Each structure stands twice: as structure tokens, then as C-alpha cells.
Structure 1
Amino acid sequence: MKLQPITPFEPILAARLPEGNQWIAQIKWDGVRMLSYCDGDSTELINRRGNRRTSQYPELAVQSSYFRAGSAILDGEIIALKEGKPSFHEVMRRDSLRSSSAIEAVIPQVPVIYMIFDLLYCDGEWLTGLPLSQRQQQLNERLLPHPHVQGVPSYTDPAQLYAAAVKAKLEGIVIKDIGSTYALGGKDKRWQKCKLISDLTAVAGGVTFRDGIVNALLLGLYGGDGQLHYIGHAGSGRLTAADWRELTAQVLQLAEDQMPFATIPQRAKGAFWVKPLLVFKIHYLEWNASGTLRQPVIQARVDLPPSSCRLEQRS
């Protein structure tokens, strides 16, 4: 492709809603951040880490079917629904696949929607220097009706949308300065996220077994000292029996004699140490004073480097 992948703009975590008339709010979808690139000849879907995902979502592989332009870069999030709500575990059933036969088999089981919220490049021109209001206007004018694509609605009352998200038990909302430009690879307070559900990505440094099958993960995050710090164990979540069996086969190949954590975990008894290579998305209620997670829940295994699992996620 002629268009090179970019690193998208990211919101910062906010403890409270910002005040002022310049803010608009959008639902924070529990999905996979994805950019759609079309150079006029072909379309590529590339996630925020620069990994191609076009083959995983063939229904989105022709940008001209949902956006009217000769060339464009669109920013959004691919989601899958379960019981009418976005489910990260469901979308990962698509995103984690690599073989074409497996993808073809799961397409009817896990339909996806591409929720598009920004337009960065269009017909040979970069729009990142324009205010968000103008980018949104051009995006809405060019989006075409499509069964797997929607434009993300914006609301002028963040507090009202936040209350609606609470009622619906959604992940949270994103608040954006309507006059903000788009900083490639940036992250600042012009975009903010208020979460109802806290989450992070953590690496497994050990597991426990029940009847020969993994039944819990011992999780860690890397600190500034380069060491892996234990943050708790998780056995509940959205992993299926098949997921646990597959995970069991994987961890047996990653056996490690030495404990990888900086200090001995609370659940060290009966633990099976593994090389810290498997990364998971975890929902949790809050941090305990001991530095461990309260009520961690496993959402899915994710394709991220272990080095990205850092204690800074707490801020």
C-alpha cells in the first residue's frame, strides 16, 4: 500500500467529566481499535499496533462499499455484540483467528460492526490539522449505508451520556474537544475517557491446575525497575472450557523452573511457573492496598507484547 500505517491519537483517563461547552461525548465501545486504509486500489485494516487484520474482517475489506472517496484513512473500533451489548470476548473470537477456514466458519457466528468516529485522510489530503467538528462533518457526508458499518454518534451533554452508560452497564464514554486537531501518535487531555469498568492488560507468570486443566492465572505487570510485579490471580471470566484446554496445552510448553515475579505471590502454593509470554485483558473492580486487583475477571487473551503490560496502566 502507498498509505503507511499511523499510530492513532489516544484519550487519557479522567477521574471526572471535564466542564465547558467545547466538549462532545461518545460511547466507549468494548472492541478493537482499527484504522481502515484505502489508497484507491485496495483496502487494509490495521490495528493501533500496526498489525494487519484485513483477513479477519472480510466484510470490511472494500472501503468503497461504506465510504465515498478515492482514498481515505478512517479511525474507529470494531465491535461484536452479545445480548445487545459490546463484548470484547466476542470480537476477539474473530480478531485472534489466523486461518481462512476458521475465519469463514466463525463469520456467521460473530457478526461485527465497524464503529467509525474519525476521518484522518481523504482524497490525497491529510485532515488531521482540521478541528474535530470539520472532520466529523466530512465523515458523515461520505459514509455510505452498510450492514456492518456505523458512524459513532456524538452528544453535547457528556453528563447525560455518562448516566445512560451507567444505566446500560457499558464500558464508559470518551469526551473530546470539538475543536481538537488529531495528533498522530499523541495522547493528551483534548480526548479523555471516563470508565465505568476498569481494565488493563496483564501477563501470566504462573497458573494453577484443577484435574489437569488450568483453572486460574497468576498475573503481573512490569515496573520501571524492569521486574514483573504480581497483581493477583484470576480464574473467573469469559474463557470457555475449550479456551482453558487450549491454554493448558500452551502453558505446558512454557514451563519455567524459576518464579518470574519480583516477590512471592500470595497464591504461590501449587503454582506452575511459566515464561511470561501470554497476555490477557482483565476487568477489575479496584486496586487493593496490597497492590493486587480486587475481583479480576478474564475477558480474553490478546495479541500484545508482554512488555506493554506495565504498572503505569493504573494511572
Structure 2
Amino acid sequence: MRKTGSQDRLKFIKPQEPVLVETPPVSDDWLHEIKYDGFRTQIILDWAGARALTRTGIDWSKRYWPIVAAAEKLKAKSFILDGEMIAPDADGRPNFHEMHSRMAWNAELLAFVAFDIMHLDGKDLRPLPAIERKAILWDLVKPAEGIIQYSQHVEGGGADFYKAVERMGLEGMVSKRRGSMYRSGESEAWLKIKCWELGNFDLLGIKRENGKRTEAIVARDGKYAGSPSIALTKEIRERLLRRVRKAKPLPPAGLPKAVATADVEWVPPGFKAVVRSLRGEPKLRHGSVKEIRED
């Protein structure tokens, strides 16, 4: 391991990013963690003090000042921690919708969940296996309580871990090869598996193009929410077309320009779409329409 010069400030390291997959790995060669719904954050401590940086290296220390203060009390001269800044509810579950409010008014109610460590006291730990880095991280931030927490993991049993995460209503999980080193950028040594949810949306229109998937244009609470894929049965297609031809509806107001100007068969009010999509996304992602209902 190489040493860091005592007078050099530790520099931001581009984070390692997981690859999104549909199912968790089943091999015992993987360790599994909860995917926390918050803001990816890097905590750096060196001779000049601690600071908190965003996923892209922007200094947000003033927004996260209680965590920065707590980091300076950990028993180390220097370190770089990788983790997620969250707004935990009373039961510990991350509440992403509370993030901005707490950052502005109640930063002491935030928490930093550390899931990796890249540097410690002048040593670059990135070449070490993930399972060894986790042990070093635990020794630094134990006991896993308070404003700086440790991301617990299990080894093996990925399918069962996913079921437990899904039952708890969490966003998803991250699986990491236990022997992998830390590499910046997207890497298949880290996998992201998100849970699915069903939601009710207003069906605004149907977009069909030759050679492309058919998409539903949907909204929630009057706001455009996305364009999930839709498989139209003959019965649904004929029912929609009858209503469209009779009402001749126009594009609703407030749609993105690219959507409003697209070749879409606009649907009159009264149709609802039940959409399956990835949990915890601000916009529908990997969405598909499972059912269409008419009020």
C-alpha cells in the first residue's frame, strides 16, 4: 500500500458505481447491503479537518455540519469514507422526501451510513478485498449507532436478502464481490437490485412508432410522470380508439415539449393505468402498464 504525504490534503476519489441488474447474485462470493435512499457522500478527514463531498466532488460540508463535526471525533488521523447521507425516520428507514428540509433546517437529524473506506491514516485501502475494507470500517465507526453509522451486510443468500428488503418496503439492495478491490466508476463487482412497486396513474395517451415499443403517457396528481411500456390487447385497443375518436382530445397542458409534440393518440379523462416500476425513483423507470381501468 502506498503512503500519503503528511502535508498533502486527501483528494476526492471518484466513487465506485454499481451496475443495475434485475435479480441478485446467488453465489456465496457476494456480500449484500441495503440500498439506502439518500445522497451519495464522501467524508474526508485530514490534517486540515473533515469535509463532506457530493457524488461529483462538490463540498457540502456546511449542509452536513453535524456529520462533519462527528467525523472529526473518530479515532483516526485521516480517512476517506464512502457512504450515503440519509434522513432517517423514527424506525431508522431513510426518508428521501425529508432530505432537503433537514439539510436546510435540521441537519442534526441527518445520518451518514458508511459502507466503504478507501484511505486510513496514510494508507490507501482500495487494493484490499471488500470484506477486509468492511472490517476496517467497522473498527473505525463502531458501535453502529448515532449520526455516523455502519452499513451492515450479510454474506451469501442474495435471494433471501432481496425478499427481506422487499417485505420491508425498502428501495433495494447492493451486492458486492467480497474479494473485489475498490475501482472508481461503474463496475460489475458491485450490483444494484431495486425492488418493484405498483402505482395508479392517469392515462393521458398512447404513443406508437414502427419498430419501437408502445408507450403509455401517464401522470400523477396532474404532473407528467413518465412513459411506461404498454402491451395493448385487442379489447383495450378498440375501447380506447372508440373513446379517442368520439372525444378527439388534445394534449394536456404542462407536458414536456418532446412529449406534447410527439405522435400520440391522446386519451380523454377517466382512464387509469396500473404501472409496475422500480421503487424509489423520482420518475418512472423500467415501467410497464399491467392494467388499464376506466372510471
Q: Give the TM-score band, short-chain normalised.
A: 0.5 to 0.7
CA pair 50-65 structure 1, distance change in 2 beyond 3 A: closer
Is 1:8 paired with 2:6? no
Give the TM-score normalised by structure 2.
0.66
Partner of 1:233: 219
* Amino acid corresponding to residue 86 of structure 1 in structure 2: P
Q: Distance in 2 between matches of 1:107 and 1:182?
A: 30
Q: Distance in 1 between matches of 2:135 and 2:152?
A: 12
* Amino acid corresponding to residue 257 of structure 2 in structure 1: M
CA deviation profile, 1:191-245 (whole Å, cap 9, x unmatched)? 10110047xxxxxxxxxxxxxxxxx9x9xxxxxxxxxx996434379xxxxxxxx
CA deviation profile, 1:164-216 (whole Å, cap 9, x unmatched)? 111111111111100010102x2122110110047xxxxxxxxxxxxxxxxx9
Whether the aligned pair in 2 keeps the contact of 1:197 and 1:284 (CA below 8 Å) is no
Partner of 1:117: 115
Pick from 60, 71, 78 the counterpart of residue 71 of structure 1: 78
Secondary structure of the residue aligned to 1:116 is: strand
Counting only pairs closer than 5 Å after superposition, residues 122-271 of structure 1 correspond to structure 2 as: 122-145=120-143, 147-156=146-155, 157-184=157-184, 186-197=185-196, 232-235=218-221, 259-261=257-259, 263=262
Q: Distance in 2 between matches of 1:60 and 1:83?
A: 18
Q: Point out where structure 2 has 5 or more consecutive residues left out of the alignment.
A: 1-7, 205-214, 224-253, 269-279
* Amino acid corresponding to residue 74 of structure 1 in structure 2: L
CA pair 141-233 structure 1, distance change in 2 beyond 3 A: same
Is 1:87 paired with 2:95? yes
Pick from 4, 19, 29 the counterpart of residue 22 of structure 1: 29
Secondary structure of the residue aligned to 1:142 is: helix
CA deviation profile, 1:117-175 (whole Å, cap 9, x unmatched)? 10001112211111111111111112255621110001022222212111111111111
Q: Distance in 2 between matches of 1:154 and 1:288?
A: 31
Partner of 2:246: none
* Amino acid corresponding to residue 282 of structure 2 in structure 1: I
Secondary structure of the residue aligned to 1:94 is: helix
Partner of 2:247: none
Whether the aligned pair in 1 keeps the contact of 2:86 and 2:112 (CA below 8 Å) is yes
CA RMSD across the alignment = 3.7
TM-superposed deviation, 1:38: 1.1
Q: Distance in 1 between matches of 2:151 and 2:128?
A: 19
CA pair 32-197 structure 1, distance change in 2 beyond 3 A: farther
Give the TM-score normalised by structure 1.
0.62
Whether the aligned pair in 1 keeps the contact of 2:50 and 2:72 (CA below 8 Å) is no
Q: Distance in 1 between matches of 2:222 and 2:281?
A: 13
* Amino acid corresponding to residue 192 of structure 1 in structure 2: L
TM-superposed deviation, 1:260: 5.0
